[in-house]
Structure 1
Amino acid sequence: MRAKRNIKTLYVISFFFSLIPAYVIERLFWEMRGMSVLDVVLTEVIFGAVMLLMEVPSGVLADRIGRKPLIVTGVLFEGLMFAILLTADSFWQFGLAIAFAAAGAALLSGAENALLYDSLAAVNREERFDWHIGRLQAVRMVSLFIAAMSGSFLAVRVSLEVNYWLSLSSTLIAFLLTFLLKDVERKGDESEFTMAGQVIEAVRFFKKQPALVYVLILGITVGLAAGFVEEFWQLYLVDAGISISFFGLFYGVILIVQIPGALAAHSLRKRFERGMLLKGVILTGAAALILSAVQVNWLGAAAIIFFLLAAGMTEPLIMGALHEKADSRIRATIESFQSFVFNAVLIGAGTGFGYIATRFTLASGFLFLAVFSVVPLVLRTLIKLNR
């Protein structure tokens, strides 16, 4: 009963945690409070640094003291971010808010999915893990869509602070809902590991799973490319000469198109290997990114939508692959390692993308993402040929 309630509660928490109308006017609000582009970039550095510092320790902690305390604290920190931003008027206040957001993201990373898997395992339904991951992703996308549309509507009628008050309220609801979660009994005894032992065991886990590591690398490259596209599509549409009046509609579309892939991932995984599916996503995605770089117009914008449609199945595939092989005693630690690597690679890829997009054009940056995403496939092919 406890496990089934956890699953239902996680869906509701995901909806309210993503119902954030502040995101659609974020840059306008920050600029209004005196934050320059350089200031924004520096806060992103703060976010990345805090994430890297806390990612693995938070996963270790989730495995030792339970998933629920980390989830409760993580959502609380996200709420503190909005509370600080409502009164922030200096760089350091914005930096503090973003540090809380990064800490919250690190605490949630691993703990949420670990609790979901534990709850499913308690009712012998762990094979449905990626099915639920896909549907949780769909819930988040629908919530983001609602928030984006309502946030845009409110932004032209009331002060921008209203969007932040609503976002704080939604996060508070998610925070209160976290208290309904209950940790469930796990297989094995995590107390046999010291904290350092958990980290060492996680490293050994990845060393013993080279095929899994390859799948995770494929997922990381797709995820990074999709993340940059989602971050900079507005500037792309400006370069394409597309009217700002279409921005709200376009944003809604790129959110909704990711749902079919997320929902289909579980069924497709039964017919094809995860590695094969991710290769298909990478190749079609790279082709779409190349088209968007060559045709900076409506056709290129359509290619972006197609890329995100394919990329929608990535998270269920890689999380399913990771958790079905993970040891329950170090489940959150293992996912935190994956997230740590993702954020570390993000810094390197982001530097390359940012340099090229600034030095040349945003379209050139998209071309860089296309090349970057196929690098693992090329290296794997070369290694096989040299054997």
Structure 2
Amino acid sequence: MIMVKIMQRNLHLGYGYTALAYFGITSLWVIFLQQRGLSLVQIGLCESIFHLTSLLSEVPSGMLADRFGYKIVLMGGRVAAIVHAIIMLMATNFWWFALGFVLQAWAYNLQSGTIEALLYDSLAENHATERFPVVTKNMNMIIEIATPVGVLLAGGLIHGHLNVTYLLYALSAWLAIGCILQLHEPFRDQTTPATDAQSLIAISRSAAKWLRQFSALRHLMVFHAAFSALGTTYYYYFQSVMTAKGFSGLLISGILVITAILNVGGVQLTPWLQRKWPQTQLLRGLAIVLAGALISALWANTLGLVGGYLLINLLLAVIEPLLSNYYNQLIPSAQRATLLSISSMIFSLMMVVLFPVMGWLIEWSNFTVAFGGTGMVVLVCGWLAFRR
């Protein structure tokens, strides 16, 4: 009974941490950097620096969680977030902003997959892992609420007050540390006894072995990374469309309210979608819808572009809990944080290439041609991949 109470407490604290860590108050960072005088090329470079840092740091951060425990890594991530906020507020040139994005990448790396793994192992202690799909659904629903709520607040501060968003971001990181301190570190089922002889290299080799043996896991990670990278790139560059077309703060807030409603609905639908269709059919269908949304940008007017933005955000809301469930059905406990970090590393690798390329394409042509053409490429590549 005591362990059940500890598990429930961990779940509630995990939900609280998730809300604070994913509070999207700084989501309008593209507009913030434009207001601070950075060009679109410099903004693209900052995003590339973020993902390159993430690429180099993701697997080591996951191994640290597997070796030294989840709580220490989560706390380190929130400290990095606070330092990132301070730099963004004080930066006066591109290089300071670039350093801020390095810290943001470390904050992201140190939480990526870690809180999910901690909650899964909390359930495993009580032989309740069958509840994990519901837990991931709840976590992603919280993310889909917390992120747009933060963006809504940022939308109200868009005209000259976006600095306040980074103060609120730092405050949310401090509160998240409070949640971490109260978490119970669960026992993890190690493939070998947890002795001092266990090394980071041993964990890494074990994770690599799993990836070699399970091609299905590799394919899921590549699909997830490509899907998320395309959707994320569209999301961020659409901020430049909103500023170029002179969207008011009220209009941006209205779009984000609709986004939040659709995203919460998408998260709620995920378990039903998983039961309704086999994995391959479901992923194929999602890829076709993404390609269609991107291609539609070629002829869409402003209203159509907003509709594409809403649809792509809905797809991103569905894909995260769906792939999380698929991963945890395949990944052993002792390597869970490391393998989930590898998945994030693949995403970062794709973003390092995709984000600056899309930025160059937008400057060379325009937003609609760049993403419409990309949608055609996605349709062809998806057809080739799923026909096998």
Fold shared per TM-score above 0.5: yes
Contact map agreement 1:217 1:376 (CA 8 A) in 2: no
Contact 1:222 / 1:373 at 8 angstroms: preserved in 2? no
Change (3 A) 1:346 1:31: closer
TM superposition shift of 1:331: 1.0
| SS class of match (2:90) | coil
Alignment of 1:238-317 (within 5 A): 243-244=247-248, 246-317=251-322
* TM-score normalized by the length of structure 2: 0.89
Match of 1:147 among 142, 145, 150: 150
Contact 1:51 1:106 in 2 (8 A): yes
**Other-structure match for 2:173:** 171
1:4 corresponding residue in structure 2: 8
Does residue 330 of structure 2 align to residue 322 of structure 1?
no
Question: Relative to structure 1, is the Cα distance of residues 361 and 20 closer, same or farther in structure 2, using a 3 angstrom cutoff?
Answer: closer
Return the offset for 1:302. 1.7
What do residues 133-178 of structure 1 show as CA deviations (whole Å, max 9, x unaligned)?
222122122122222222332455x844333222221221112221
How big is the shift at 1:31?
4.5
Equivalent runs, 1:52-67 vs 2, <5 Å = 52-67=55-70
Quote the Cα distance in structure 1 between the aligned partners of 2:385 and 2:168: 48
Name the CA distance, whole Å, in 2 between partners of 1:36 and 1:357. 13
More deviation, 339-348/68-77: 339-348
Deviates more, 1:294-303 or 1:46-55: 294-303
Counterpart-to-counterpart distance in 1, 2:107 and 2:354 = 23
Cα distance in 2, alignment partners of residues 87 and 20 from structure 1: 20
Indicate the residue corresponding to 2:201 in structure 1.
196
Residues matched between the structures, number: 380
User: Cα deviation per residue 1:58-110 (whole Å; 9 max; x = unaligned)?
Assistant: 11111111111101111111111112222222333322222111111111113
Change (3 A) 1:265 1:32: closer
Query: Is 1:75 paired with 2:78?
Result: yes
CA distance in 1, matches of 2:308, 2:163: 35
1:366 aligned partner: 371
Q: Percent identity?
A: 22
Match of 1:187 among 186, 189, 197: 189
1:130–1:265 contact (8 Å) kept in structure 2 = no
CA distance in 1, matches of 2:99, 2:177: 20
Gaps of 5+ in 2: none
Looking at structure 1, the residues matched to 52 and 58 of structure 2 have their Cα atoms a distance apart, in angstroms, of 10
Please say if 1:84 is aligned against 2:87. yes
Q: Which runs of 4+ in 1 moved over 4 A?
A: 31-34, 190-193
Report SS of the residue matched to 1:363: helix
Name the amino acid aligned to 1:329.
A
- The answer to whether structure 1 residue 224 and structure 2 residue 215 are counterparts is no
Match of 1:42 among 41, 45, 59: 45
Over aligned residue pairs, what C-alpha RMSD do you find?
Answer: 2.4
SS in 2 for 1:92: helix
| TM-score when normalising by structure 1 | 0.89
